[in-house]
Structures are given as C-alpha cells and as structure tokens.
Structure 1
C-alpha cells in the first residue's frame, strides 16, 4: 500500500491550534460564533462532536439534543463556577448526562465564547443550544457545517484541516499534560469499562510524542497502556 493511500492520522486539537483557528473566524458572524463556541465546548467538556451538533438540518429532537434551557452555572464548595449542561440522551447514557466546562484564562475560554454566542445568536430556550441566526430564523449547527467551517479556518491559517475526532484526542492529551489523573480523565470523557485503555492504545502513536516531554506522565502512560503480561 502506498503512503498516499493510507488513512491520515487524527492529529490532536490543542488550545494553541484553536487559538489559531479563532483568528480566522469572525466572532461577530452568527455561524462562526456558534462554531467556535461548539468547538470550545466540545474540547473542554470532552464531548463528542456528534453530541452537540446535528446530522441534518431536520434532525433536531428536544428529547435527545441539548437545549439552551438545559444549561446552568453551578458553584462548587471552593467557590469555583462551572457551566453545566444536560444532554437528554446519549449512546452511553440513555437517561441523559451532565457535562461541564470551567472558565479558561486564554483566548479559547469556552465561557467567553458561549456568552458571545448567546449575544450574537440568542437561540430560543427550547431550541438547539448551538443554533445560529439565519435569514429564516435560527439554523441548527450540523456536524458537516461545523467541520467545513473549521477546515476553512485551518486552510486560512496554513494548517492542514483536522478531523473532528481530533478534538477528543486533543482534550485527552490536554488534561493528561495538565496533570489530571488518568482515571479522572476517563470519567471526564465518559468512557465505559476498559474502553479508555483501548482508546489510549489506539492513539498511542499520536499521543506519545507530546507526552514524552513530561517524563512522569509518559511513564504512567506506558504503564497504563501496556497489556498485562500473561
């Protein structure tokens, strides 16, 4: 098989890369505001892109998809605020699941992006969270439109367009490099049973070069992903 015919690796999104994309999005544009907010929400909440976007313009289901009214701000015992939103139904949680993000001191802060999205698009409380203003009212953000918009921004920034799954790989990397324990990252990403270990093994070639810069994390990574000796 020729190298050109091989499937491209899912390179990870990083805060630096998202900041580069941000500089090529117009956050006063209704769609761009929704896309960037969705990107930061997916990243810092460790959510699958398909859980916050639509398969098609007609596929919105209030019993399945997160709505504006499903969002609230909670304060923990240390006085720190988290934005929590409830996804009514997911593949792994048929009764729904809370996911959350915390404010970030960077240009990729999901809280600032979300406030801009609400200001720009004012999606209805019972409508899709990432709906954006359109000529005929509000348009739900589809996964295809989300990926296409980010790909356009990537090309403008001189970056090869990344796959949507690179967000999930990237947030896993980000939390591990920030010193978040593996088991906590597993819970944050809502992996079941041993799926997280299998996930790390699958993407070891992508994650390992980044993690090697932090020896203690890399050592734990190797230990965590090595199959048991039989």
Structure 2
C-alpha cells in the first residue's frame, strides 16, 4: 500500500497564535461626537469618555475591574490581561453593524443616566442585577415603545458580552416586564401603520416617472426589484454614496439570469452582506407581464445607465458628478414627493417589503413559500398581514382553488 511520505517540519515553526489583526478603522478621522442631549447627559467619569454613540459599547468600561480575578462557570480563577481584552474587543466589535452599535450605545447611555439619577454605585452597575435592570426598564416604560426597551436590553447584554461580564438575568421575568412595557408605551411613540405598495401603485409611479431620465430609470428599476423580491430597500441601495463597498453592496455582477428544469426563467440577486447574514443571501424574482416587470425595468435601467460589472446595481448618471450609486435617501425622497403630490397613502421605503408580501399572499402563494421568499426565520412576516379575509379565502372554502396544485405536487403519479 502506498504511504504518503511525511513532510519534514520547517526549521522555523509557523506561529499560529496572536497574529496581528487587520485594521478595522478607516483612514479618515472620525467626526467629533455631538453634545449630549438635555436629560441624557451622564455624570463625568473616566470610565465613560465622551465619544460617538456607536463607540460606547467598546470605550465605556465597566468598573468591574479586569485586573481583578474573574470566576468562570466552573469556579476556576482566570486572569485576562489588558492586551488580551483589547484583542477580544477588536474581534467581537465588528460582529455588530454600525446601526446596531448606535442603537445599543443609545441604550447603554440611557442606562448610565438612570444609574446616575438613582445614585447606583459604579460597582453595582455591572454585572447588572435583575432588580436593577427591571427598575430601569420599568422607569422607561411610559416614555419609550416596547421595541426600544427590547433594544436597550439587547445593548446592555452586548456590553456585558463584549467586556466578559456574566449576564445573569431570568429570561421569563425579563419577557414579562418587556410585554408590560409595550402595553404602557405612549401613543406618540407608535408609528402609524405603513401602507403597502401595490402593483397599481407601481403602475402609477411608472406613469409619473420619466424612464428616459438616468435617475428615474434607476429608481423605478429599484422599486420593482425590491417589491417582487420582497427585499429590504437598504439591501439594494447605499446609506451614503461615499460608502459604497462592492464587498458589502450589490453590484451588477451579482445578477444571474437562470432557468429551472421546466424552462421557467428566474433572476437571482446575490446580496453580499446583510445584517442577518454577513456571508450574504440570495433573493429572486421573475419576468412578468405589464409595465411593472422588474426584469424589463432593470434592462431599461442598464440601457440608460451603462456601467462596469463591479458598479453598484443601480448606479445612475448624475448630471454634474457622473456615475454614482443609488442611495436609500434618493429613493425615499422620490416616494415622498410623488405620494405628497398625488395624495397617496403613507408610503415609505419599507412599504415595498410589506406590499411584496401581500402581493404573493393575495395571489394564493402558500405562507411557507412567502416566508422563504422574504427570508424570514420565524413568523414575524405575519405582522404585515392586511386584508385577512382576501388572503385566507382560498383556504376557507369547501373546494380550495389551490386543491389541484396541492394534489399535483403531493400525490405520486399513477403507474
């Protein structure tokens, strides 16, 4: 039997530990932090330097001294050096997106202001005790919506995790207090329901936009693709035109035109990075009849706005600055302008995702298929349900219109 010869070890063993980490910081100096808002100003402390809110998780240090001996779950004593802690912070910090860091930092700020107001000593602020957390959330219940309190809690937990502190909060007790806080939330904190986009809304936008215009062609293509893919507008646009990154944002090279085994066409869009999936996700839609055909709108956009494969998917030609990626604000400004001028309902960017969900449900697409199209891990998409009777009608009748479909795909053929 052939035996692969052993490779002689190198005279200089390769170091596998403590390799230098790639820098995650931008070369551009960060903007200075804004002054604290009235009522949300913490007491001065060397533990909490005045910094950007997204940096609070990392730079605000608990008084639980890391030079002290920490006890793990087995009761063993371990020592974490300052250098090791910095390495941990560098590795864990990028796992949260910028917006998440800002949201969590705002919760941490509110918590520290609460502790200052109630004279809670620094050593008792972290690790946080159950009664302290519940008191904090209860005090916020009449001023903040339940979703904000859930984010505050998640931010405090992330802060503990980032600095190696134990999180010893009873999940059931926390669930009860968060549910109670949601009921006590002020009416002013609750947004009015966003109206969904519909196919006829897209048809109206088609008639109002100039599809020979560089900007309008890009926006209309974006609207139709996001709608029929049941996507998020932020996944197909950029937050800032200066922050376009082809490793994170969708480009023209991320579009594939495919056919299934029966010859049915489908277009796949590869989103390189999402908040839920840093390794990327795929979304799909198909060519359709009518003016809202997403693939037709995309081809029109490509004709009006030619660009390289590595350009942003909806790159458009600005009259003075040349090619630029399509920003979310550019799309939402267009939506707001058209809805105001034509007395349309409360349409926002997220209305596209709501509308796409309803579109497929109203056309009899099974709930689990819609869930897959929208990439929901749970059943949270049911909050988008409108027109319940229309959606459920096929499932409530004696002879559902989908019966033939189900029989064809669930029953084996007769031989």
TM-score of the pair, normalised by structure 1: 0.85
Residues 371 and 381 in structure 2, CA contact (< 8 A), matched pair in contact too: no
Q: Cα distance, 1:219 vs. partner?
A: 5.3
Which residue number in structure 2 is paired with residue 138 of structure 1? 323
User: 2:197 aligned with 1:13, yes or no?
Assistant: yes
Q: Cα distance, 1:4 vs. partner?
A: 8.8
Q: Cα distance, 1:18 vs. partner?
A: 1.0
User: 2:222 aligned with 1:33, yes or no?
Assistant: no
Moved over 3 A (4+): 1-6, 217-220
Which residue number in structure 2 is paired with residue 212 of structure 1? 389
Alignment of 1:48-127 (within 5 A): 48-127=232-311
Find the structure with the greater CA-based Rg.
2
Q: Distance in 1 between matches of 2:279 and 2:189?
A: 41
**3-state DSSP class of the match of 1:150?**
helix
* RMSD, matched Cα: 2.2
Distance 1:185 1:69, change over 3 A: same
Q: Distance in 2 between matches of 1:103 and 1:23?
A: 20
Distance 1:159 1:81, change over 3 A: same
TM-score of the pair, normalised by structure 2: 0.48
- Point out where structure 2 has 5 or more consecutive residues left out of the alignment: 1-184, 398-415
Residues 364 and 391 in structure 2, CA contact (< 8 A), matched pair in contact too: no
Once structures 1 and 2 are overlaid, which stretch shifts more, 157-166 or 33-42?
Answer: 157-166
Q: Cα distance, 1:216 vs. partner?
A: 2.6
Q: Distance in 2 between matches of 1:198 and 1:87?
A: 21
Which residue number in structure 1 is paired with residue 356 of structure 2? 171
Q: Cα distance, 1:91 vs. partner?
A: 1.5
**Higher RCO, 1 vs 2 (CA within 8 Å, ≥6 residues apart):** 1
Q: Cα distance, 1:164 vs. partner?
A: 1.1
Q: How many corresponding residue pairs? A: 212
Q: Cα distance, 1:155 vs. partner?
A: 2.9
